[in-house]
Amino acid sequence: MPITFTLADEVPADAGAVGTPVFAGRVLPAGAGADLDLAFLAERGFEGKPGEAVAVPSGRGTWIALGVGEPDKVTAETLRRAAAAFVRTAWRDRSAATTLLAAAPAGLDLSLAAQAIAEGASLAAYRFSRYKGSPKPSKLESMAVVGAGEPARHGLDRGARVAEAVVLARDIVNEPARAMTPRKLADVAAEVADAEGLTLTVLDETAIVAEGLGGLAGVALGSDEPARLIELVYDPAAGADASIALVGKGITFDSGGLSIKTAEGMETMKTDKSGAAAVLAAMSVIAALAPPVRVVAIVPATENMPGGAALKPGDVLTARNGKTIEVLNTDAEGRLVLADGLSLAVEAGVDAIIDLATLTGACVVALGRKVAGLMGNHAGWIDQVSQAAARAGEDVWPLPLPEDYRKQIDSEVADIKNIGGGRHAGALTAGLFLREFVGDVPWVHLDIAGPARSEEDEGYFQKGGTGFGVRTVVEAVMSFRKPV
């Protein structure tokens, strides 16, 4: 059950747990409203570092000291992580309150600060326990955030709503492959469309072939599960002067095809639908936030399996835009389905495109598991998306698309091939491959192979799908300006 957030003038008397910010050196912010035993905190080794949380004895119930670090270094992400630490510590309380807004510096937008608190608290309370015999969910039902003003109230509402979308993305990713097939993914899209008043189009396996979606149809050949092409459209009630397309890789399970992965390599391959999950989840909140922008979401969805009819290395496919692709590695399938998705986005006549995909292990090698790679063909649009990610608290890092590397995807028998030469620069040659399908439309590619899945419980993440990209996409849409 989602936490209900309210804005309060003071800590309610019935709050079971109260979280108060503490700066580095065990200094309390003005207005934090707590009489904490600082000597007790010192005995417990609490220093006020970001992410620290210690319960302090009090006659008014449980007070929880929340470290936020140096006063001049507090950001929205600091508050997001402090709220997460609070929820983890107050796991068994039904009601709670926090004075975290007192730690927000003067230069931090109050709406953004409140949004971060709601997001951190909500996401820390998440558990995927559908298949657990004895789940132990958080008991926290309500949280009062002490503060004042319409910006803070708006931020709490938006944060709670965005967090619901991230939870949806996590649920989609965490579902086993047998439970979240391409057809089930289309069912989820239908539920989102019905709830949010969006226009939905779903192409079945026959229509996919008829529409010339050769990349998607080709990858699907090895599976008994039929592929789906999902499109959701948000049209503002007052009309729109701008439009954006979101394209998400929807490989609901990736065995590698005939270029089969190792058993260990397949263990987490239900995560390969994370791009699709982020796109569908973002669409679940965009209509409620009502940006003045038309948004077209495209999800090519299929399994990648080594059945008797599967693609063979050396086969040639024809993508939607007419380019032919020599498939030399069937485990480089994500770019094949995205080729069709990006082509459709261009045909939709949008002003800009973002695609999200767990695309390459090479990006994980380069940036680790907490940072997404960002590539694109338009400096202004790259800057917009980078800034949106920074505001959303999701780490991305710009990577180049060197023209000198383009020759690595030249094919002997087709227009291009689906892998570059050798073991190096795999994330970049994959980006160069995708660029072939966007024409002159401003485009950004987010390789989320690393941060799409967490391998540990930390902050507001739990082991499993993270929902990475939802917050960035929502922020990019809400702040969208036509790239020039």
Closest CA to 216 of 190, 188, 248, 242: 248
| Averaged confidence pLDDT in the chain | 96
Whole-prediction pTM: 0.97
Mean pLDDT of 36-62: 87
Other C-beta atoms closer than 10 Å to the C-beta of 243 total 20
Distance CA(149)–CA(147), nearest Å, equals: 7
- Whether the Cβ atoms of residue 216 and residue 336 lie closer than 8 Å to each other: yes
What residues are labeled active site? 261, 335
* 279-284 mean pLDDT: 98
The CATH 3.40.630.10 domain(s) of the chain lie at 180-478
At 59, the pLDDT band (50, 70, 90 cuts) reads low
| pLDDT of 139 higher than 80 | yes
Please tell me the predicted confidence (pLDDT) of residue 60.
66
For residues 184-218, b (16+ Cβ closer than 10 Å) or e, as one string?
Answer: bbbebbeebbeeeebebebbebeebbeeebbbbbb
> Residue 1: pLDDT above 80?
no
CATH of segment(s) 180-478: 3.40.630.10
Predicted local confidence at residue 133, as pLDDT = 92
Task: Give the pLDDT score at 57.
Answer: 74
Q: Using one digit for the tens of pLDDT, what is the confidence trace for 69-128?
A: 999 999 999 999 999 999 999 999 999 999 999 999 999 999 999 999 999 999 999 999
The band of 134, judged by pLDDT with boundaries at 50, 70 and 90, is: confident
Residue 32: per-residue pLDDT: 78
Q: Tell me the percentage of the chain whose pLDDT exceeds 70.
A: 99
Confidence of residue 452 (pLDDT cuts 50, 70, 90): very high
Tokens of 6: 């309210």
- Tell me which architecture the domain covering 4-159 has in CATH: 3-Layer(aba) Sandwich (3.40)
Q: What are residue 288's phi and psi, to 5 degrees?
A: -65, -35
pLDDT of 312: 98
For residue 250, what are the CA distances in angstroms to 111, 122, 132, 304, 452?
Answer: 33, 26, 26, 10, 13
User: 23-32, 301-310, 398-407, 424-433 — which is least confidently predicted?
Assistant: 23-32
* pLDDT tens per residue across span 404-429: 999 999 999 999 999 997 779 999 99
Other C-beta atoms lying within 10 Å of the C-beta of residue 129 = 12
Q: What are phi and psi of 475, to 5 degrees?
A: -65, -40
The Cα 414–Cα 138 span in angstroms is 55
Number of H helices, E strands in the chain: 14, 20
Given this model, what pLDDT does residue 56 score?
A: 87
Portions of the chain given CATH number 3.40.220.10: 4-159
- pLDDT tens sequence across 376-399: 999 999 999 999 999 999 999 999
